[in-house]
Structure 1
C-alpha cells in the first residue's frame, strides 16, 4: 500500500501533514505502514510534526509510530524537527511528544539537541518547556553554532 508520488510521499504522510487524523487511522487500518519513510527518512510522524498537529501526533504514537524515529539526513527526531524548523516551535506538539516518550536530549548528526535547535530558531516558549522537562544545559555540539 506504500504507493509514493514523485517526491516519495505516501497518502499516509499527506494525511498526517494535513492533520487528518481520521484518514490516518483509516489508511493504517487498510494496511499503510506507519513507519514507512520517504527518501529523506521522514515518516508520517515527522509530517504530523511539520504540520503542527498535536492530535495526529498523539494518534500516530498510540498506533505504533516511534516518537524517536530519526530521518536519514540530519538524524532529526520529531522533537528535533519541531524545535529546528523556523516556522514551527509548537509547544503543544512538543509537549505531546515528550509525554509520549520522546527523548529530550537525543542528538542529531551534529550533536545538537532539541534545546539547541529551539535556541537557534528563537523558540523561547519551547526552550522553557524543554528546560521544565529536564533538557540538559551541558550537552556540547560537534559544530560551532
Structure 2
C-alpha cells in the first residue's frame, strides 16, 4: 500500500515513515515538503493512496498557491474516499468534505498518535477500496450476484478480490441462494471449505428450492462434500419447499452410499413429504431392496 506524507517537519515525516514501514514490509511511504512542486510530482499516485498525512508546523505560513493546491487535492481525495490526517483547520473545517474524510491531529505528537491508533482501520479500508477498484477495472460490478457467479465459475482470484473488497461470505445472489450452496451446486470442494472457514452459515436455506448446503450436495450426489458438511454439524432433517428431506432426495436418486451415510448420521427415514411418503416408504414402494435394508435399522415401525 502507498502512503503520502506532506510535511515541513522532517522529524515527524521520518517517524511516520518508520512506523508505517514496520507495520508491513510491502508498504511504500512517500515523504515530501509542502510545495506546489511536491503536489504536482505525486499527483500520479493520488488515486492509489491508502491515506495522506498533511502536517505543517505553522498552518498560517502556507502560501495562497499551496493552500489552493491542498484544497484541490483534498477535494480529489474526498471524491476517491481517501482519508487525510492533518492539523490544518482549513481542511478539517471544509464544509463539503471535512467531516467525511478529514482526521484531525492538534500537533506533531497528537497526529502521530492518531495515525498509530487508526492505522489498522485505515489499512483495512484501503485494502477494500483497492480491491473494489480492481473489480471495476475488470468490468465486474461489486454485487453479491456477481460474487456468486464467480464462485460458480470457479475463479478463485476474482472470488478473493470480492472478499478483500469486503463482500460478506453470507451474502446471497439475486435468487436468494447462499454462497455455500452455490459452491455445493458446482461440486467445488475447495470453495466449500473456504466459504465455511470464513464463517458461512452452515444451515442457511436457499430461497429458490428451500435447500441447505448439505441438501444441495446430496442432490448433486457429491459424497465428499456431504461428508465434510456432516462433519461440521449440518442439519440433515431440513425440509425443502417440496416437503422433502435429504434422505428422500438420496433414495429418489438411488444413491446407496449417501443413503447409508445420511441414515448413520441422524437423517430420519420416516419424515413424510407433501405426498405423505417417507424415504423408507419410497424405498419399499419402488422395491429398492438394498435401500430398504440400509434404512430398516433406522425405521420406526408404526
How does the TM-score come out when normalised to structure 2?
0.42
Could you say which structure has the larger radius of gyration? 2
121-130 or 46-55, larger mean C-alpha shift: 121-130
* 1:134, distance to aligned residue in structure 2 (A): 1.8
Q: CA RMSD in A?
A: 2.2
* 1:62, distance to aligned residue in structure 2 (A): 1.1
Q: Indicate yes or no: 2:145 matched with 1:9.
A: yes
Aligned ranges 1:3-82 → 2 under 5 Å: 3-4=142-143, 9-10=145-146, 12-21=147-156, 23-82=158-217
Q: Indicate yes or no: 2:230 matched with 1:98.
A: yes
* 1:68, distance to aligned residue in structure 2 (A): 0.9
SS at match of 2:228: helix
Where do 5+ consecutive residues of structure 1 fail to align? none
CA 1:53/1:98 → structure 2, altered by over 3 Å: closer, same or farther?
Answer: same
Aligned to 2:13: none
For 2:260, which of 114, 125, 128 is the aligned residue?
Answer: 128
SS at match of 1:38: coil
94-103 or 22-31, larger mean C-alpha shift: 22-31
Q: Would the aligned equivalents of 1:17 and 1:44 in 2 still touch at CA under 8 Å?
A: no
Q: Distance in 2 between matches of 1:38 and 1:18?
A: 14
Q: Would the aligned equivalents of 2:142 and 2:162 in 1 still touch at CA under 8 Å?
A: no
Q: Would the aligned equivalents of 1:83 and 1:123 in 2 still touch at CA under 8 Å?
A: no
Q: Compare the two structures and name the one with the higher strand fraction.
A: 2
Q: Would the aligned equivalents of 1:41 and 1:72 in 2 still touch at CA under 8 Å?
A: yes
Cα deviation, 1:87-133, whole Å, max 9, x if unaligned, reads x2100011111112210111112321111111112222211211121
Q: Which has the higher contact order (CA 8 A, sep 6+)?
A: 1
Aligned to 1:114: 246
Where do 5+ consecutive residues of structure 2 fail to align? 1-131, 133-140, 278-302
Q: Compare the two structures and name the one with the higher helix fraction.
A: 2
Q: Would the aligned equivalents of 1:48 and 1:57 in 2 still touch at CA under 8 Å?
A: yes
Q: Would the aligned equivalents of 1:105 and 1:136 in 2 still touch at CA under 8 Å?
A: yes
